[in-house]
Amino acid sequence: MKRIFPFVAAFIVVFLLFSCVRRVPSKTSEKEEITKLIEAATTPEDHMKIADYYENQASEMKVKARSHASMAASYRARGKPLPGLFIHCRNLSKKYKEAAEEYKAMAMEHREIAKKMQKE
């Protein structure tokens, strides 16, 4: 009986911990939410939320661009160059930078829409 008690206690503790943890919203639900908001945006606040979403996406793209630029530099600096991997990472870095610029532009457009709506 004394040997079983620690296992039962551990099980109860784990069960209680998992029962207290709330579900964290996934990126999928965020994307679904923003898609619905884009389809139905009618207020300046809606457009500001969309702009904030695009700003966050731009930030994520910048992080990915820097990461791939760093990897490209590492592949290029090796004693035995790995040209295929260098080119792959360099190209991804460039595409992520371009995506960041596009997201920034989209955010600016939604901010302009919100400003115009507030003036009306």
Q: What is the tens place of the pLDDT at every residue in 91-115?
A: 999 999 999 999 999 999 999 999 9
Please name the amino acid found at residue 118: Q
What's the pLDDT score for residue 80? 77
Neighbours of 110 (CB within 10 A): 22
Parse the chain into domains and list their residue ranges.
Answer: 26-119
pTM value is 0.71
Q: Give dist(CA 74, CA 87) in Å, integer.
A: 12
Mean pLDDT confidence for 12-38: 67
For residue 14, pLDDT beyond 80: no
| Cα–chain center distance at 52 | 12
What's the pLDDT score for residue 70? 96
Higher pLDDT, residue 24 or 99:
99
Contact indicator for 82, 75 with CB cutoff of 8 Å: yes
